[in-house]
Structure formats: structure tokens, C-alpha cells
Amino acid sequence: MVGLTSAAGVIALLDEHDDDLKVYALQKLNGIVDQFWAEISDAVSKIEIMYEDTEFKDRALAALVASKVYYHLGEFDDSLNFALGAGNLFDLSLKSEYVDTIVSKCIDKYIAVRVQEQQDPQNAEPMDSRLKAVVEKMFDRCYQDGEYKQAVGIALEAHRLDVVEHSIKAGGPSVILPYVYDLTMTVVQDQAYRNTLLQLLVDQFRKLEEPDYVAINQCLVHLGDHQASAELLQKLVSSGAQADLLMAYQLAFDLENNATQKYLTKVSDALPADAADAPQPKFAKVKSILSGKETIKLQLEFLCRNNHTDMLILKDSKNLLDARLSVYHSAVTFANAFMNAGTTSDDFLRQNLEWLSRATNWSKFSATAALGVIHKGQLSRGLNLLAPYLPQDGVTASPYSEGGSLFALGLIHANHGDEVLDYLRGVLKDTQIEVLQHGACLGLGTAGMATDNDDIYEELKNVLFSDSAIGGEAAGLGMGMVMLGTASEKALDEMLQYAHETQHEKIIRGLAVGVSLVMYGKEDAADVLIERLSADKDPILRYGGMYTIAMAYAGTGNNKAIRRLLHVAVSDVNDDVRRAAVTALGFIMFRSHKQVPRIVQLLSESYNPHVRYGACLALGISCAGTGSLDAIELLEPMTKDNVDFVRQGAFIALAMVLMQQNEAQSPKAASVRKMYEEVIKKKNEDALAKFGAVLGQGIIDAGGRNVTISLQSRSGHSNMPAIVGVALFTQFWYWFPASHFLSLAFTPTAIIGVNADLNLPEIEFTSNARPSLFAYIPPTKPPAAVTVEKVATAVLSTTAKAQAKAKKAKSAESDAMEEDEKPEVKTEEAKEEEAKLAAKPKKEAQSEKLGNLARVVPAQLKYISFDKDARYVPVKKDVTGGIVVLLDNKPDEPENLIATTTSAVASTPPASGADTKMDIEEEEAPLPEPFTYPFGDE
């Protein structure tokens, strides 16, 4: 049978007067439209007339044929309208490209109308009932096929909370709830709607047979509901069950890791005090955890015990660089601070006092502030450690070392400043010295981060209004840190007004970055301010606008923000603004870091070196600690760039990407370290590039190789101190001391198990990966001593013969005497066999046992498992690292506890019924000798 070659005959029937013939023609056309749509399209107007004729008996069929024709023509909106007119003839169950495309367009249209109804109900177009019917059929089809996740995806975008709730119940809460939470935090971009969803999730998590307290806690932090957080903790502590009490402790640790100082203070204040006759101070422990003291104490213990700083790297860099140049002196200072961050080890400083004494002016400020990074977290001893450098009545010392010590005090107490805020405020009030004001403002901002403290804000504002360039810049940054994330209209108005009035660029820049911090995490609420700053004629305020986008939308991956930044990156007339716009991409996209190399690829090849530098930092910030091969591939060519500061950016970014990466994980790690050494050795290398290489050495081995830079917390929240720290670190472009802010982003990578008394029991868990995969990088070997070989002395032939004769006689005599005592000599074959056995590689184990306070890098967490039958098991189901509260399955047996080295073990009474004994593994480390910087009075 010959196939149909034309639809002309069938199309001709459309001109007949008999409706039956027209219907017959439409039925035939419906069957052949996919083949002859181009021919039928000439007659589509006739088919439309049939559909619009209310007396025509098969209007739905006409609509279906017209829909298919328009689909093939690429007119999807017209195709959708006619498909809706086809009613039941448009069969959703058919598997075809046409049906899938039209259903997709239908859902998109439905979502667009629903979103408009929610956001602007007065101007929203009415919902087409036919459109709604199609979407409802799609939901029913999802339910029948068990595709609940698909239904949830559509419902979330369409603001259909009823469908979300039904899908959770029907699809199984244990499966669907985590999926909904993940989509809520990653896909939903409207903040008000996200909060509504989070409230729904809290209700659903509470309805589970075993309520998921960890997830509830996470939702409450996002919602900012401190009262509900306090009630949850109080309920668990008061329940009387040991498991609930331990879960309360775990939630308190999680809260401390995720929430702001202001939020934690409110939660702590809302908790009741312990009863006077209570056997255990349970609420006191929860409050102690919320204050951050317990976390910091445990992290300090981990960093001190596992310090793997390679001092030889620092020593070599110091010897190769001329300390008389402040840029080199500062670089080594920062590298030392980063390598020893939180470890309390100042050995390098003690061993190089003469080098240290060469620091002058702001190098001295940076060198003293470095103590704050090294001793970060020593909350109880901070003032004592810095006492020799802090301003003292009647003692005249260098204002640079005094100012640096005030900044150091803020760094030690970063985000936990209750104990030092009053002291810093007192110093700020009593001094008119610019450098002291600078240090005190930075210290107050760092210690009082996100406290929303009006008194501190007013004192910083007074320094700002003195119009001192040095003090004013730090005051602007400090005001931003104190009002972090508050979106305070008063603060924004005052800061922007003064930024327009002052003539000092440093003050304007400090205020521009400070304003961005005030809008941290505000997303859409910051849009008006962003528009205002982006349109300002002052490039420094436009620069602040880019950082406002970065802070407001940090971690959201918001498409609107990304588009704006990319536009500015290629269009603004100012290099600083373009650089800031590209850098800001790293902050917005750190959750989807795999996409960043693709987005900045073209920017990394820009003709503008500032854009290339921004691309480096964007890659470093977003891919920090991931070892991303795509990022390394883009950064490597920029290490050979012909512009010195681009090479600097590439060196710093590579260090960020390769933190805690050994050769087994990332083969490029060794070559990058080698490259740093070679750059520092080059005599003709530019100073800025060397500065970047030394900073890179410090960052890649930060915290004794036990920390990483992580802009999100272990539970997935944005890590506020880290984001702020990295944003302020990028200001080192203008002001080297700002480099120290990077220490705020250093996150210890450990599993630290604590029992009910918050002590450290001896535990064992398994890492189901080869030990070499996540092992520490081996220390650098010192260069082998070169021995100079002596030239053989010329010997006369007659002398040689005489010596040989004497030697022969002597050897014969000794052989006769010692023949009985001659040891057994190994043959050459035996020696070769031994050498082969020694050289033969041993088969590496496929897993290893780790103990408490072990380093566990983020990539290793998926390999970690706890034995369910072990004495200690985590109260939290998923191990995300950090501090893990452990349930003791054998509470009546004696416990073996690990003796802490940083401070005496807390003398907390043991849990009821427990017979606790302390197993001291090693003696407590002695306190270091008193030490002061060798800075002369000025």
C-alpha cells in the first residue's frame, strides 16, 4: 500500500458545508498532523474558525488539531490555549513530546499566575479554570504513579501548601520531609514564602512518631524564632530522659554553631535557672554551651593536640625575604598567624625575635594583631596574654603595638565578646590617638559582631564623626559588624549620609563595606539599597553596592543577583567596582560551587586584570577546601599572568581550594606547594606576587593543617562569621592588616565526642577509606648537608709499594689472631633478597580506626561509621562532624576520659549511677614562658 504523500485532499474537506465531513477531515488531520503540519498550517485559520463557532459540534477536536499545528510552528502559547480548549481530548496520559511540552508550558503558566496572585493580588490576572484543571490532573497522575517528589516540586513553586502537605503524608514523612527542606533552602528564593514553608515543616517534623528535633532546630534558626528554640530545649531538659537531655545538649551545640550572638543570648535568657536542689546543673550546662565557651574549649583542645604546622616552610620563607621591606615582613607575619591559628603556638616568634624587632609602624600593628589569630578562642586568658601590649596608664609604648593588641583582643573573642566589650569601649573613650582608635574599633566590631548593641554603635559613630581617616575607616567597618544583619534604617541613613559628606576615601570605603554588612542575609529587602548604591556617582559606594549584593544574597544562588553582578563586571567604568562584582559571585554561589568555574571562565580570560583578579577570588571563596579540578584548571594559567596582582590572587585562591588536600586527593597539591617556594626564591619576582605566595603558604596549612574555610556550617546554614571574615579579608587589597579577618572563616575539621558531663571519653569509630587518602601532608625534609670531598693526595710509586707490603703483613697477622671470632658474612644474594623485601610495598588497609579528637575532613565524613554495639553512640543520626554528643550504653561502668591539655578537666559531678574515673594519658603541658614582642618604645 502506497503511503500518503499529501494532506491536500483531507484539507479540501474543511471547505465542505456538511459538519460530518468537517469532523471526518479533522479526525484524519489529527492522525497525520505530525507528518504534514507544514501543509496544514496554511489552513489553520479555517480550523480556528470551527473552534470559535459555538454551533459546531466537535469544537474540542478542532482545538486539538490547531494546538498541534501551533506546537510544530513553535508558537507554544497559542498551542497551550488551544490545548486547554480541547478539554478531555487533550490526554495527559499519552507519552509524546507534544503532551510533555504543553503540560510543561501549562505548569509554567500556572506557577506564574499563582506567584502573581501571592505577591500582587490586586494586579494579578484571573486563573483560567481549564489551566487549573490540567494541573490538578497532573497532581493526581503523580499520586497514582507514586511520584510524590515531582508533585512537591511543582507545588512548592506554585505556592500550593495543601499539595505539599498531602504529598508529605502520602509519600512517607521520613522520605519527603528532608526533600522538602532541601528544596525550601535551595530553590525557594522569596524569603517570606520560605518562612511559611519552614513553619509548615516544623509542624510536620513535630507530628512524627519520633520528632526530628535536629531538623526542627534548624528550621527555627532560619525563622529566627528564639522563643520556640528555648521552649524546645526546656522541654527536652525537663523530660527526665537521659536521651532527651543529651539531645538538648546536641541542639545547643548546633545552635551555637549556626545562630548569631543576639539570637543565642535571647534563647539563653528565655531558659529557666536550675532548681536549688537539682542534682545536676542541666540548664546551666545548656547556657554554657550556648555561650560558646564549651565549643571553643573543645576546639582549642583539638587544635593544640593535632598541630602539624611545618615550621621549616615559615623559616625558609623568612630567610629568603628581606625583612626590611614591610610588605615581606607583613606577609610572613600573616603566614605564621594563619599556620598557627588557634593552636596557641608562638614558637616561630620566640625563635625569631631579632627578625620580629624589625617591624615598624603598621607592620608592628599587624605583628601584634597576629597574636589574636594564634590565640583565637582563649576567652578566659585573652586579657592576660595581651597584657604586655595593651595600653596602660602611665606607660608610654608604641601606639602601633597597642592598637594591634586591641585588634588582637577582638580576634581572640570574635563573635563571643561579652567579657571584653566593656574594656574595649573604655579604651576607645579614653584615647584620641588614631592608631589606638583604629585597633579598638576593629576589636569592638569583631568581638561585638551581630550584637545590635546601640551603645557600642554610638561610640563607634563618635569616632567616625571625628573625621579621622585612620580611625574613621575602622569605625565604619566596626559599625557594620555590630549591626550585622539588622537592616537598621537608622544605621544605614547615618552611614550613607556621612559617606556623602566626608572627603576621605578610606572613611567612605569603610562605610561602604560596613553598609553591606548591615544588610547581611536580607535578600529582597536589600534591593532598594542595592539600586541606590549601584547608581551612585561615587565609585567607592558602587563598590559597596557590589558587596551589599554579596552579603544580602550570600549562599542563595539568586539568579537576579548573579545577572546584576555579571552586568556590572563587564560594564562599570571603575576597575575596583568590576573587581568587587566578580568577587561577589563567589559569595552568592558557594553552595553550588561546581557551577562557578563555568560562570567565571570567560571573565578569567578578560582583558582587564582587575576582572581576572576578581575571578581568582570568586573561585577561591566558593571552592575553598574542595580541591575542585575545574577551579584549579582555571587558576593555574593565572599564576603565570603578566600582571603581578593577578598572580597574587591566583596564589591565594589556589591555597583556599587546596586546603587539607594531600596528593592522594588532589595530585596538584604538591606542585602548587613547590610553586610557592620557587616564586619566593625568585629574585626578580614582583613583591605583590611574592606576598600572595607567602599568604598562600599560610592559608593552605592553616590552623596546623586542621582547619578549612567553610562558608556554610555543618548543618547547611550560612556560616555568618566565615562569610563576614572572608569579605573583610578581601579588603587587604587596600589595607594589609585586614588579612587577619580570614581567621574568622577557619573551621576546625574534627569529630569531638562528649559525654553527659561534657567531658571527652575514649571512643573509637571507623573511617572506611584508605588511611593515605585523608592523611596529613608529610613534613618538609630539611636539605641534606653537602659534604665536600677531599682530593686524593699524590703518592709516589716507591712509597705506595712500601705501604702495601706493610699493610699485607699486618693483615696476615690479624687474620691469624681473630680467625675464631670472625662473624658470619652475608652473601650478595642474601643482601639483594633483603633489599627486595624491604622495597616491596605493603598492601594498604581499606579502613582505619580513629579516636576522639581526630581530624576528619569534610570529604571524609561520608566514610565515617560508628559501631551500633559500641559503648558510646551519637544521639544524632547523621554524623556531620564537629562536636557530637554521645549516649553511654553502659553508664554503670567506669569511664576512661581523655585529659585535656589546654585547661584542667571540668570538675562536673558525674551522671547519677555512674562510677567515673579519670585515666590520665599524659601529664598536663606546662605553661609557656612569659614572652613579649621585642618592640622598643617610641
Instruction: Quickly tell me which residue has 561579652 as its cell.
Output: 418
Confidence band for 212, pLDDT divided at 50, 70 and 90: confident
Average pLDDT, the chain: 84
Rounded CA gap, 446 and 455, in Å? Answer: 15
Nearest to 938 by CA among 442, 357, 450: 357
Nearest to 578 by CA among 616, 546, 550, 617: 546
What is the pLDDT at residue 446?
92
Instruction: Quickly tell me which residue has 490540567 as its cell.
Output: 134
3-class SS of residue 511: helix
What is the pLDDT at residue 920?
34
pLDDT higher at 339 or 359: 339
Cβ pair 217, 255 in contact under 8 A: yes
Number of H helices and number of E strands within the chain?
44, 11
CB-based contacts of 511: which residues, under 8 Å, 6+ apart?
464, 476, 479, 495, 496, 498, 499, 544
pLDDT at residue 567 above 90? yes
Range list of β-strands (E), 784-843 = none
DSSP symbol at 685: S
Pairing of strands 764-767, 707-709: unpaired
**What is the three-state SS of 506-530?**
HHHHHHHHHHHHHCCCCHHHHHHHH
Rounded CA gap, 623 and 843, in Å? Answer: 33
Confidence band for 836, pLDDT divided at 50, 70 and 90: low
CA 388 to chain centre: 36
3-class SS of residue 882: strand
DSSP per-residue string spanning 731-770 = GGGT-GGGGGGGGGGEEE-EEEEE-TTS--B--EEEE-S-
Confidence band for 724, pLDDT divided at 50, 70 and 90: very high
**What is the H or E stretch that residue 708 is in?**
strand 707-709
Q: In the predicted model, what is the mean pLDDT of residues 536-558?
A: 92
Nearest to 71 by CA among 109, 33, 25: 33
CB-based contacts of 204: which residues, under 8 Å, 6+ apart?
165, 168, 173, 177
What is the pLDDT at residue 516?
94
DSSP symbol at 871: S
What is the pLDDT at residue 793?
61
**Amino acid occupying residue 323:** A
Nearest to 250 by CA among 218, 223, 228, 219: 218
Rounded CA gap, 444 and 418, in Å? Answer: 11
659-706 pLDDT tens trace: 988 888 888 888 999 999 999 988 888 889 999 999 999 999 998 899
Nearest to 721 by CA among 297, 338, 415, 267: 415
Q: In the predicted model, what is the mean pLDDT of residues 896-902?
A: 79
Rounded CA gap, 232 and 253, in Å? Answer: 14
Rounded CA gap, 213 and 232, in Å? Answer: 8
pLDDT at residue 815 above 60? no
Cβ pair 428, 463 in contact under 8 A: yes
286-312 pLDDT tens trace: 888 888 888 888 988 898 888 888 888
DSSP symbol at 140: H
What is the pLDDT at residue 633?
92
Rounded CA gap, 328 and 264, in Å? Answer: 41
Rounded CA gap, 464 and 507, in Å? Answer: 8
Rounded CA gap, 343 and 685, in Å? Answer: 32
Cβ pair 668, 721 in contact under 8 A: no
Least confident of 81-90, 409-418, 902-911: 902-911
Cell of 432: 584620641
Cell of 11: 484539507
616-628 pLDDT tens trace: 999 999 999 888 8
pLDDT at residue 52 above 80? yes
What is the pLDDT at residue 584?
94
- Residues 847-870 as b or e (16 or more Cβ within 10 Å = b): ebebebbbbbbbbbbebbebeeee
pLDDT at residue 272 above 50? yes
Q: In the predicted model, what is the mean pLDDT of residues 766-778?
A: 87
CB-based contacts of 166: which residues, under 8 Å, 6+ apart?
none
If one counts every other C-beta atom within 10 angstroms of the C-beta of residue 467, the result is 14
Sign of CA dihedral 766, 768, 772, 777: negative
Rounded to two decimals, the pTM is 0.83
Q: In the predicted model, what is the mean pLDDT of residues 22-28?
A: 86
Q: In the predicted model, what is the mean pLDDT of residues 342-369?
A: 86
What is the pLDDT at residue 542?
94
DSSP per-residue string spanning 334-358 = HHHHHHTTTT---HHHHHTHHHHTT
Rounded CA gap, 391 and 436, in Å? Answer: 9
Sign of CA dihedral 609, 337, 427, 381: positive
**Amino acid occupying residue 105:** K
pLDDT at residue 172 above 90? no
CA-to-CA dists, residue 342 to 657, 746, 853, 932, angstroms: 21, 9, 15, 19
Cell of 181: 527542606
Rounded CA gap, 167 and 146, in Å? Answer: 10
Confidence band for 577, pLDDT divided at 50, 70 and 90: very high
Rounded CA gap, 517 and 520, in Å? Answer: 5
Rounded CA gap, 581 and 564, in Å? Answer: 9
Sign of CA dihedral 391, 294, 656, 698: positive
Q: In the predicted model, what is the mean pLDDT of residues 225-231?
A: 88
Q: In the predicted model, what is the mean pLDDT of residues 439-451?
A: 91
385-419 pLDDT tens trace: 888 888 877 666 788 888 899 999 999 998 887 88
pLDDT at residue 914 above 50? no
State the Cα torsion 381-387-390-391 to the nearest 10°: 130
Cβ pair 614, 587 in contact under 8 A: no
628-657 pLDDT tens trace: 899 999 999 999 989 999 999 999 999 999
What is the pLDDT at residue 923?
43
pLDDT higher at 800 or 79: 79
3-class SS of residue 901: coil
Nearest to 870 by CA among 735, 758, 762, 779: 762
Nearest to 159 by CA among 130, 127, 129: 127
